[in-house]
């Protein structure tokens, strides 16, 4: 149950206790019920005394899923937030009833947040700003309150609708009756009130939460941008399948008052088909459609922007390549100069080494000669002194 107004960028991260415990509690309940279904199985016949889930509860949950999803996409979003068409009171009542069962806030509060998103997309004033990260845009923002609160006078046009104000004033009770009470009573018809209660209320709700939130997260991060490059919104077929056609988000951000999201006949947009069918029955009117010429101009502008960006990128690439080549040439030249210097230094060192070797050799030879001469002189001197010490040799007797 999404209540209060989530903060765009909470400077004081005040947790929304109700949202936090409700969403996580319901998620745990659904996981537990899936375990129960796995163990007990699903059948067409169940009674109060038997265990298991009835297939009629599953079918009812699918019907509730379609009704609740259309109420968010066709009602909360395209009708109340963007006034993309007009709807009779039975259609608005249908949207408000099943929209309340989606527990994503009252229609007027939901619309205020969504209008802020469009007005301040990708900025700190965007409630689900994708620049704060995927998980913040997906569900994190739901868990925090805006200290400034929400002034519903921002949507004066919706305040003039008594049905919208009735739903706003009785939002929680309205949602509880549609999401839980009525499915439980219907489940009694085939003996599976618990299955109907959890499948139509909680299980459907968790899946719907994440499908809806994928528009705030996934389609602002993944997909194509054929209509505008001004913001992060993208077109995603996968998201369109999960959200009754809301996935063509780049188109929607560019032409937000168009009742369609998928503009081609082959675009998967059940919400568009639903609103168009109701118009043929006289229950919706004034379906706003963007002129083809305007759409084509937008696409041409994007192509031109992409071409300029491509040319700029190519130019920067060429410049980078040229700079790299110049730097490489300078580096090679510097390396060659250093190599030449090294060779010259090596040559000088070789010449110096040779000169030193010759000098050392000459000095060694001179020293050896001097030593040899000194040795001879010393030997002669020793011999002479030896002879003097021995005296003259005696003469031999001739007889």
Sequential pLDDT tens for the chain (399 residues)? 555 455 444 555 688 898 899 999 999 999 998 888 877 777 887 665 567 788 899 999 999 999 999 999 999 999 999 999 999 999 999 999 999 999 999 999 999 999 999 999 999 989 999 999 999 999 999 999 876 666 788 899 999 999 999 999 999 999 999 999 999 999 999 888 999 999 999 999 999 999 999 999 999 999 999 999 999 999 999 999 999 999 999 999 999 999 999 999 899 999 999 999 999 999 999 999 999 999 999 999 999 998 888 888 888 888 888 888 888 888 888 888 888 888 888 888 888 888 888 888 888 888 888 888 888 888 888 888 877 777 665 555 554
Instruction: Say how far apart CA 153 and CA 380 lie, in whole Å.
Output: 132
**SS3 for the chain, per residue?**
CCCCCCCCCCCCCCECHHHHHHHHHHHHHHHHHHHHHHHHCEECCCCCCCCCEEHHHHHHHHHHHHHHHHHHHHHHHHHHHCCCCEECHHHHHHHHHHHHCCCCCCHHHHHHHHHHHHHCCCCCCCCCCHHHCHHHHHCHHHHECCCCCCCHHHHHHHHCCHHHHHHHHCHHHHHHHHHHHHHHHHHHHHCCHHHHHHHHHHHHHHHHHHHHHHHHHHHHCCCECCCCCCCCCCECHHHHHHCCCCCEHHHHHHCCCCCCCCCCCCCCCHHHHHHHHHHHCCCEECCCCCCHHHHHHHHHHHHHHHHHHHHHHHHHHHHHHHHHHHHHHHHHHHHHHHHHHHHHHHHHHHHHHHHHHHHHHHHHHHHHHHHHHHHHHHHHHHHHHHHHHHCCCCCCCCC
Position 9 scores a pLDDT of 46
Position 88 scores a pLDDT of 97
**Cα three-residue angle 129-135-139, rounded to 5 degrees:** 80
Instruction: Say how far apart CA 79 and CA 83 lie, in whole Å.
Output: 5
Position 329 scores a pLDDT of 86
The CA distances from residue 3 to 120, 177, 257, 262, in Å, are 21, 17, 26, 30
39 and 50 in contact (C-beta within 8 Å)?
no
**Cα three-residue angle 100-54-173, rounded to 5 degrees:** 20
Block residue for tokens 């040319």: 311
Instruction: Say how far apart CA 394 and CA 207 lie, in whole Å.
Output: 141
Position 399 scores a pLDDT of 47
Position 240 scores a pLDDT of 97
Block residue for tokens 């001879």: 376
Position 8 scores a pLDDT of 45
297-311: pLDDT as tens digits: 999 999 999 888 888
Domain ranges of the chain: 17-290, 293-377
């Amino acid at each position: 149950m999404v209540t209060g107004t989530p903060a765009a960028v909470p400077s004081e991260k005040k947790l929304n206790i109700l949202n936090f415990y409700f969403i996580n509690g319901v998620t745990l309940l659904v996981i537990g019920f899936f375990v129960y279904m796995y163990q007990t199985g699903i059948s067409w016949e169940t009674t109060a005394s038997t265990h298991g889930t009835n297939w009629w509860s599953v079918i009812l949950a699918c019907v509730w899923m379609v009704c609740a999803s259309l109420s968010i996409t066709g009602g909360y979003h395209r009708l109340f937030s963007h006034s993309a068409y007009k709807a009779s009171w039975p259609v608005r009542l249908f949207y408000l009833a099943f929209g309340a069962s989606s527990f994503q806030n009252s229609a007027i509060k939901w619309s205020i947040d969504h209008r802020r998103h469009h007005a301040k997309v990708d900025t700190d004033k965007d409630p689900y700003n994708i620049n704060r990260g995927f998980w913040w845009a997906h569900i994190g923002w739901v868990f925090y309150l805006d200290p400034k609160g929400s002034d519903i006078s921002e949507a004066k046009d919706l305040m003039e609708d008594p049905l919208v104000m009735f739903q706003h004033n009785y939002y929680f009770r309205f949602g509880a009756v549609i999401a839980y009470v009525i499915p439980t009573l219907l489940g009694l018809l085939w003996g599976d009130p618990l299955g109907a209660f959890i499948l139509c209320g909680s299980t459907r709700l968790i899946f719907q939460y994440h499908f809806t939130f994928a528009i705030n997260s996934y389609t602002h991060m993944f997909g194509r941008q054929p209509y505008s490059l001004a913001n992060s919104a993208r077109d995603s077929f996968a998201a369109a399948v999960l959200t009754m056609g809301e996935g063509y988000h780049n188109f929607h951000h560019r032409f937000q008052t168009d009742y369609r999201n998928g503009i081609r006949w082959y675009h998967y947009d059940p919400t568009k088909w639903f609103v168009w069918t109701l118009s043929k029955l006289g229950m919706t009117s004034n379906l706003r459609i963007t002129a083809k010429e305007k759409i084509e101009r937008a696409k041409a502008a994007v192509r031109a922007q992409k071409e300029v960006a491509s040319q700029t990128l190519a130019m920067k690439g060429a410049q980078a390549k040229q700079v790299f080549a110049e730097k490489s040439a300078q580096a090679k030249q510097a390396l060659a100069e250093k190599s030449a210097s090294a060779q010259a230094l090596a040559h000088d060192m070789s010449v110096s080494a040779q000169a030193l070797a010759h000098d050392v050799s000459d000095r060694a030879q001179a020293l050896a000669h001097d030593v040899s001469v000194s040795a001879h002189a010393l030997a002669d001197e020793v011999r002479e002194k030896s002879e003097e010490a021995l005296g003259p040799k005696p003469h031999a007797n001739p007889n």
